[in-house]
Structure 1
Amino acid sequence: MTGSFNNRGGPVTGPAEAVEHLCRVAREAGATEARVIDVKTVAVAPWVRWKCRYGCPGYGRSLTCPPFSPRPEETEKVLGCYRTGLLFLAPASWLVRYLASHLEHLAFRAGYYKAFGLGAGPCGLCEECNTGGSCHRPGEARPSLEACGIDVFQTLRNNGLNLTLAREPDEPCSRVGLVLLE
């Protein structure tokens, strides 16, 4: 981590300071919760993508959603390459998607070269996704946790958090993001 810089150009002296800085950036941007977790607490289950396929209008309309997103088996293999992650909650999917790519970028600059962010919900960066080709905004587009087969509710419970479901369409509900760090 020596020689790395935070987003304000100041030096980051070590891993603990870098992660603390990422949590602070997330909260300042609007995250209601940001904490470091052991990646072993991330729950992956094959049924999760069925919820996308048979319940989400975004299914098949974005390269970050099924059937284009990583399958649960691939997700489990990739998670095995990491020890820690930054789990965060925010009041809107767009904010989670923004934070996933922004925090990933900051983590990379701080020395976490394997950093990778996962967002929430369908992408929405482009008016129409180029599902027949490559992504037009690969630096910002990130798959959602659910699209990769991550059981968000169990992952939150495994980390001492709960998510209250929205019972009505207008009712607010937190969205969840994750940045894999090391």
Structure 2
Amino acid sequence: MTGTFNNRGGPVAGPAEAVALDDLVEHLCRVAREAGATETRVIDVKTVTVAPWVRWKCQYGCPGYGRSLTCPPFSPRPGETEKVLDCYRTGLLFLAPTSWLVRYLAAHLEHLAFRAGYYRAFGLGAGPCGLCEECNTGGACRRPGEARPSLEACGIDVFQTARNNGLNLTPAREPGEPCPRVGLVLLE
């Protein structure tokens, strides 16, 4: 194993090294579960499904459309998402009961991976951002260290991606019906 673990059990890389990927994902899975994630899966990024129709579901059905820099029309388009996904091989897919927790974990796990030497790590959350009372859609994000676009905002078919990785999610059929939320941290 390269890299070391700090006194809180977190991986910390030395100046020119990275913690072994297997050790990192084991640590990230444990952190996610301890924070409330109900499932964690290490996945091949090739199993992530991107489709242009997904953003239409945001535009025609989500009250967050156009209200946050992490949502359409400001978020990356499906073609851009596919190009970015091509830069990665490994991802950590996780489920949690709320969008808030997924957004928090996406940024937090990304930060931990970065500190462990995986400087290209990037997290994707779930649902509209909600970090600020009103988003600065006319300028720069006020909380760029925490704000992350959702999978669906980037054109990722969350349900198919989950199925591709052995998770069968069922959409909520009624308002207020529980439905797990999905996040992803890209690791390289």
TM-score class, shorter-chain normalisation, is over 0.9
Q: 1:4 to 1:131 in 2, by over 3 A?
A: farther
Deviates more, 1:18-27 or 1:113-122: 18-27
Shift of 1:45: 0.3
Q: Distance in 1 between matches of 2:104 and 2:179?
A: 17
Q: Given the two structures, how large is their TM-score scaled by the length of structure 2? A: 0.90
In structure 2, runs of 5+ residues without a counterpart are: 20-25
Shift of 1:172: 1.1
Q: Distance in 2 between matches of 1:16 and 1:85?
A: 22
- In the alignment, structure 1 residue 176 sits paired with structure 2 residue 182: yes
Q: What secondary structure, in the 3-state scheme, does the structure 1 residue paired with 2:92 have?
A: strand
Q: 1:145 to 1:16 in 2, by over 3 A?
A: farther
Q: 1:10 to 1:75 in 2, by over 3 A?
A: closer
The question of whether the paired residues in 2 share the 8 Å contact of 1:72 and 1:149 is answered with yes
For residues 93-113 of structure 1, give each alpha carbon's deviation from its aligned partner in whole angstroms, at most 9, with x where no partner exists: 000000000000001111111
In structure 1, runs of 5+ residues without a counterpart are: none
Q: Distance in 2 between matches of 1:95 and 1:27?
A: 11
Q: 1:5 to 1:105 in 2, by over 3 A?
A: farther
Q: Distance in 2 between matches of 1:176 and 1:57?
A: 19
Deviates more, 1:165-174 or 1:12-21: 12-21
Deviates more, 1:157-166 or 1:38-47: 157-166
Q: What secondary structure, in the 3-state scheme, does the structure 2 residue paired with 1:161 have?
A: coil
Deviates more, 1:103-112 or 1:142-151: 103-112
The question of whether the paired residues in 1 share the 8 Å contact of 2:2 and 2:18 is answered with no
Q: 1:48 to 1:60 in 2, by over 3 A?
A: same
Q: Distance in 1 between matches of 2:42 and 2:17?
A: 12
Shift of 1:3: 3.3
Q: Given the two structures, how large is their TM-score scaled by the length of structure 1? A: 0.93
